[in-house]
Structure 1
Amino acid sequence: MVSRKLLGQMATTLGAVVLANLVLALVFVALLEPWLVPVFDGIGLSRGVAYALTTTLCLGCLLAVQLRYARLELLAEADAAVLGPDERPELTDRVTRLAAQLDVAVPTVAVADTDVANSFAVDGVRSGTIVVSEGLLETLDAAELDAVLAHELAHLKNRDAAVMTLASFLPALIADEHVVFGDHLPQWTRPYVYGGLLLVAALLGSSFIEAPVFTPSGLLQLAVALAVTVVVGGIVLGVVATVVVFLSRSLSRQREFVADRAGALATGDPATLAGVLERLDGEATVPTNDARVEDGATSSGHYRGLEGMCLLPHGFDRSREGATDGGDPLQVDTYAHPSTTERIARLRKLAAELERTPYAG
């Protein structure tokens, strides 16, 4: 069962994301007003009802697109490929069995092509996805793999995976980690897509630009309006993203404790998950880099969206540990994992409680 604390943190984080998108939706509706008014009048809707419906539709589309896009970006960042129906049946069967135990919809499974042992869960518009690395599959035995998969399924069941997936979009956009539409469109379609976006911008601009848009004066006014929009919008998004970062860091800590407990109870073996965390965390913290460089990486504020969603925060590429990007002040440290030591201590305490009450749920 999801704790009230986790529910509250999920609600506030989601609320910040929705508020940012609501502002954007209201701007769109205001710009579309010259084209919407005749439609509203034609179907007999009052202005208030019509604007509410249009804003709600626009808001829903924005959130759905961002959720889908954030999921694709996170999978791409991990170099994870979704398994087909006949690929790795032993792994998909294991996930199906555990999903039934946790009473959660069976997610798709993706495998990341890396030797680094880690996992994470992302949610989408229709279903979630669990990602495990080749290194994790090679490192863990059957019971240990069950423990990790149950942990990730708990994230999906609690819906914190959906909130974190959606919340990753704005900070990544501000940190210049996302090129909107970029890698997810065929090369030949990109000129048409971006041309279409410019055309839409011109149509929207015509509602407040005095001169005809497709004249030298109109194009100049449109260019100025776009520049002002980018600057002001960037400032507003930066402020909102900072709030989302702050809320997500708090949510990230609490969600791991809840998923640890829920996954451990599902398998009935908290000690196994504790052992996995201890072993993998120990491997990840071998001092292969200069400690001074590591300290610089911690303090530089580097964006770490994917790492913050993983079972352990080292992500899927240890070669980046200790790397910095020149201390760019616009970069943000998005998520904060709880101490692995504290997670292990809680799991071992839970294991001791289950030993004393062997028939407890």
Structure 2
Amino acid sequence: MARIAFRLVAATVGVSLLVGYLLAALLVVEGFRVLWSLVPGLLELAALLVVAAVLSTYLSYRFGTTRLVTAIESDSVPRAQAPGLHRRLDELVARMDVARPTLYVADLHTPNAFAVGGDDGGALVMDRSLFRLLSAPEIEAILAHELAHLEANDGVVTAVADGLARTLVGVATLSAVPALLVLSGLAAGSAWIRGRPGDRSGVFSRLRRGLVAGLIGGFVLATLLVRTRSRNREFAADDRAAEVTGNPLALARALRRIERATEPAWPFAPLSTHRETDEAIERWLSTHPSVDERVERLRRRAEAARLGPVREGSTGTPVR
């Protein structure tokens, strides 16, 4: 008798869950229908969302230079304070198809440099420690590398690509909500009706897990594609810097010095985000290729070009 009572209660709960999920799915579909009625059609709505996301990302990147520079508490470098640095920057800009960025220094807590574009030429920010770590030709190589990113509009293209990928994944996820609700209702309802509330081995549960896995896989794939492009652009910026300066080894030495200065010396160094990794997934998700790869490519470039004496002012220090 107790078993029959339990089955009746379980069946009632199962039907209630199924009806609840189905009503929620219908509510979502109705919401979509109302949204679609505001535009000519589904394709137009999707296109509108994509255009809005791309435009928003572009404008945020293009006009966010001032906010970023202010946020990191950087200081502009007057020409009178560092005439040699400005002269090197002027020479590089003259050799490249890029507007001259404003030069800033900041305490970034790690030896680093980055450039961001803007309507006024953008900004090139360098950590103060770089001037203690690097020689003049190595500083020039870092400047050329960052200018190469500005010349190719890498920052804005990467930002737009990332925004577009996230928008597409978001649209796909939103579109899948009704199906997820229906499958969840069928999975939970059928399990209760069968008298096995905790059972998640049914066909509806498997379909729901498959759909979720597909959505997650789409997000991961989009991320990997954006990160792969980012790593390729780092190689391209290295090549452009080597071409403009005529000194690939200067950039190789700079990268190696920065790597060594970034490596933490405390006992938990293996947990540091700055360490090189042998894990494939971590390499795939990284925005930058390994320093070893970059240095080796630059060394091969120098050997292929059979460079003679490096440019005046170089330390001549080998890459180790």
2:252 is matched with 274
Aligned AA (1:131): V
Larger RCO: Structure 1 or Structure 2 (Cα < 8 Å, ≥ 6 residues apart)?
A: 2
With structure 1 as the length reference, what TM-score do the two structures score? 0.49
Worse-superposed segment, 130-139 or 89-98: 89-98
1:83 to 51, 76, 79: 76
Aligned AA (1:81): S
Residue 105 of structure 1 and its aligned partner are, at CA, apart by: 1.8
2:56 is matched with 62
Residue 64 of structure 1 and its aligned partner are, at CA, apart by: 3.1
Asked if residue 284 in structure 1 is aligned to residue 278 in structure 2, the reply is no
Unaligned runs of 5+ in 1: 1-26, 38-46, 174-235, 299-313, 315-320, 322-332
2:289 to 338, 345, 353: 338
Taking a change above 3 Å as real, the CA distance of residues 127 and 168 of structure 1, as seen in their structure-2 partners, is farther
Local SS of the residue matching 1:287: coil
Aligned AA (2:76): L
Alignment coverage as a number of residue pairs: 229
Aligned AA (2:257): R
Kindly report which structure 2 residues correspond to 1:343-354, keeping only aligned pairs within 5 A, or say none: 343-354=294-305
Kindly report which structure 2 residues correspond to 1:152-167, keeping only aligned pairs within 5 A, or say none: 152-166=146-160
Residue 141 of structure 1 and its aligned partner are, at CA, apart by: 2.5
Aligned AA (1:67): Y
Local SS of the residue matching 1:337: coil
Aligned AA (2:74): A
1:133 is matched with 127
Once residues 104 and 68 of structure 2 are traced to their aligned partners in structure 1, the CA distance between those partners, rounded to angstroms, is: 12
2:115 to 87, 110, 121: 121
Query: What per-residue deviation string (whole Å, max 9, x for no partner) do you get for residues 94-132 of structure 1?
Result: 323211112222123232224632111223466432221
Residue 286 of structure 1 and its aligned partner are, at CA, apart by: 4.3
Once residues 35 and 80 of structure 2 are traced to their aligned partners in structure 1, the CA distance between those partners, rounded to angstroms, is: 48
Mapped contact 1:249–1:334 kept (Cα < 8 A) = yes
1:104 to 98, 104, 107: 98
Mapped contact 1:121–1:156 kept (Cα < 8 A) = yes
Asked if residue 261 in structure 1 is aligned to residue 222 in structure 2, the reply is no
Local SS of the residue matching 1:130: strand
Mapped contact 2:166–2:222 kept (Cα < 8 A) = no
Worse-superposed segment, 236-245 or 281-290: 236-245
Taking a change above 3 Å as real, the CA distance of residues 94 and 265 of structure 1, as seen in their structure-2 partners, is same
1:6 is matched with none
Mapped contact 2:54–2:164 kept (Cα < 8 A) = no
Local SS of the residue matching 1:120: strand
Once residues 157 and 55 of structure 1 are traced to their aligned partners in structure 2, the CA distance between those partners, rounded to angstroms, is: 29
2:318 is matched with none
Once residues 165 and 105 of structure 2 are traced to their aligned partners in structure 1, the CA distance between those partners, rounded to angstroms, is: 25
Once residues 286 and 154 of structure 2 are traced to their aligned partners in structure 1, the CA distance between those partners, rounded to angstroms, is: 13
The percent of aligned pairs where both chains have the same amino acid is 33
Query: What per-residue deviation string (whole Å, max 9, x for no partner) do you get for residues 78-106 of structure 1?
Result: x1536277675534443232111122221
Once residues 31 and 151 of structure 1 are traced to their aligned partners in structure 2, the CA distance between those partners, rounded to angstroms, is: 46
Once residues 172 and 286 of structure 1 are traced to their aligned partners in structure 2, the CA distance between those partners, rounded to angstroms, is: 33
Query: What per-residue deviation string (whole Å, max 9, x for no partner) do you get for residues 259-287 of structure 1?
Result: 11110110111111111111221222243
Q: CA RMSD in A?
A: 4.7
Unaligned runs of 5+ in 2: 1-30, 168-213, 276-283, 310-320
Mapped contact 2:54–2:160 kept (Cα < 8 A) = no
Taking a change above 3 Å as real, the CA distance of residues 51 and 117 of structure 1, as seen in their structure-2 partners, is closer
Residue 52 of structure 1 and its aligned partner are, at CA, apart by: 11
Kindly report which structure 2 residues correspond to 1:180-191, keeping only aligned pairs within 5 A, or say none: none
Once residues 148 and 53 of structure 1 are traced to their aligned partners in structure 2, the CA distance between those partners, rounded to angstroms, is: 40
Aligned AA (2:141): A
Aligned AA (1:107): P
Local SS of the residue matching 1:111: strand
Mapped contact 2:53–2:164 kept (Cα < 8 A) = no
Larger Rg: 2
